[in-house]
Structure 1
Amino acid sequence: MTVLVIGANGRIGRQVCALAAEAGIPVRAMVRHRAEEPLFEEQGIETVQGDLEGDFHEALAGCDQVLFAAGSGPHTSADRTLLVDLHGAVRAIQFAEEAGVSRFIMLSALRAADPLVGPENLRPYLAAKYAADLILQRSALPHVILRPGKFTDDEPTGLVTTDTDQSPGVDISRGNVALALFTALRNPDITDREIPLVDGDRSVDDVIR
């Protein structure tokens, strides 16, 4: 079982790769530049070059799962958000279908289901995530869509909740998001689920599994 991690050099992607490598799960980190490779190779993680704004279908060769953890964020122009978060994600889904992967795990966003309620500077990003999620849901791929709240750099607690209406806030540490993605990744029986997630009081394992 080899997992292609798209967005591996992001702050969440790096953590997921490290957790997988420590657990002995083969992962392949997709990076844009050769200068990013040593970070992963030092951990025994395979790397492959690929660019969401270019052709990256060969990166999926031999992989049976794809984790899409790429994200342009609120400070990227709307046109690049379309290319990365929408077009890049849609092509990753198409390439995964063509490659016959067993599951596609998507890192989305809590407000993606209703982009217009999000902050104005995030709406293009949320709209792109919404469209990519919809295409994944309508594809033939078994999938998991994780919809975390607002990222923080707090230390991971391993405690989260899906009850976002009752939660006092919508924050979640990047470390907890990485733990949730890793938990989904190592449990192949979890399929066709959309999971909202913020920091809470239940263990990641309980919530994801």
Structure 2
Amino acid sequence: MSDTDNPTTTETVLVAGSHGQVGQHVTKQLAEREREGYHVRAMVRKDSQVDEMESMGAAVEAVVADLTDSVEHAVDGCNAIIFAAGSGGEDVYGVDRDGAIRLVDAAADEGIGRFVMLSSMGTDDPKSGPEPLQDYLIAKAEADEYLRKSDLSHTIVRPGELTTAPGTGEIRVGTDFELGNGDIPREDVASVLVRVLEYDRLTGETFELLSGDDSIDGALGSLAEAGPDAV
């Protein structure tokens, strides 16, 4: 999508988990790009969260929907979805897995053009992760696999440990699942999720993400050029 004052098209992006820590960054960044044609549908679980999300800008409309229930009305009319929702460890199978699957199904029924999934490092081998996180990693891995088997144009982003530090705009990506341990600010993760929407050549890609020395566009551009078989 080009940066113009009067875009000829509007891209409506549903942000699942918009009230969460990563989701708020995603919503804000998309809202700031309204002049590029972005419109944000911020999915929240509570009526009390609507005003807070819509205060982020004129490009933001909030919709109340629960991932454990019907989500079709939230998806209706959208062009893309960024899944940044999470249960916080309280209901990993009900939200992180089944909720994601429910949204994938709704997206497929609606004919959504793009689905970007926020996942996690460690989902390639959940049983090797710390025991307290294994159920979460299993749930995320099963959601990722369901998305992969769908007909949706998708990208799966697997960051390391998330921090509250300010974003630096510098990252490191890899598809061989050998980046090692590390962390990354949530703000940078959000920036990657948003930018992925503009890289059609990352469709079908799953990649890990940590803080690094490359610019976001530089890292994503190199990954896109390398193609889905890059290691």
TM-score with structure 1 setting the length: 0.93
Distance 2:28 2:155 in 1: 20
- Kindly report the root-mean-square deviation, in angstroms, between the aligned alpha carbons of the 2 structures: 1.4
The residue that corresponds to 1:121 in the other structure is: 132
Once the two structures are superposed, the pairs formed by residues 163-178 of structure 1 within 5 Å of their partners are 163=174, 165=178, 169-178=181-190
> Which secondary structure state, in structure 2, belongs to the residue aligned with residue 110 of structure 1?
coil
The residue that corresponds to 1:49 in the other structure is: 64
4+ residue stretches of structure 1 with deviation over 4 A? none
Matched-pair contact (CA < 8 Å) for 2:114–2:197: no
Q: 1:27 aligns with which of 30, 40, 55?
A: 40
Say whether 1:158 aligns with 2:169: yes
Distance 1:144 1:165 in 2: 19
The residue that corresponds to 2:75 in the other structure is: 60
Distance 2:43 2:130 in 1: 30
Distance 2:48 2:88 in 1: 22
Say whether 1:81 aligns with 2:81: no
Q: How many equivalent residue pairs?
A: 204
Matched-pair contact (CA < 8 Å) for 1:28–1:46: yes
The residue that corresponds to 2:51 in the other structure is: 38
Say whether 1:192 aligns with 2:207: no
TM-score with structure 2 setting the length: 0.84
Q: Which amino acid aligns with 1:194?
A: T
Distance 1:181 1:204 in 2: 10
Q: Which amino acid aligns with 1:82?
A: Y
Query: What's the % identity of the aligned pairs?
Result: 38
Using the TM superposition, give the Cα deviation of residue 87 of structure 1 relative to its aligned residue in structure 2, in angstroms: 0.6
Q: Deviations over 1:56-79 (max 9, x none)?
A: 1111110011111111234x2xxx
Using the TM superposition, give the Cα deviation of residue 18 of structure 1 relative to its aligned residue in structure 2, in angstroms: 0.5
Using the TM superposition, give the Cα deviation of residue 96 of structure 1 relative to its aligned residue in structure 2, in angstroms: 0.5
> Which secondary structure state, in structure 2, belongs to the residue aligned with residue 183 of structure 1?
helix
Q: Deviations over 1:46-100 (max 9, x none)?
A: 11110011111111110011111111234x2xxx211001110011111100000
Any gaps of 5 or more consecutive residues in structure 2?
Answer: 1-10, 222-231
Q: Deviations over 1:89-136 (max 9, x none)?
A: 011111100000011110000111111111111111100000010011
Using the TM superposition, give the Cα deviation of residue 166 of structure 1 relative to its aligned residue in structure 2, in angstroms: 5.2
The residue that corresponds to 2:151 in the other structure is: 140
The residue that corresponds to 1:108 in the other structure is: 119
Q: Deviations over 1:23-67 (max 9, x none)?
A: 111110000111111122112211111001111111111001111
Any gaps of 5 or more consecutive residues in structure 1?
Answer: none
Matched-pair contact (CA < 8 Å) for 1:145–1:195: yes
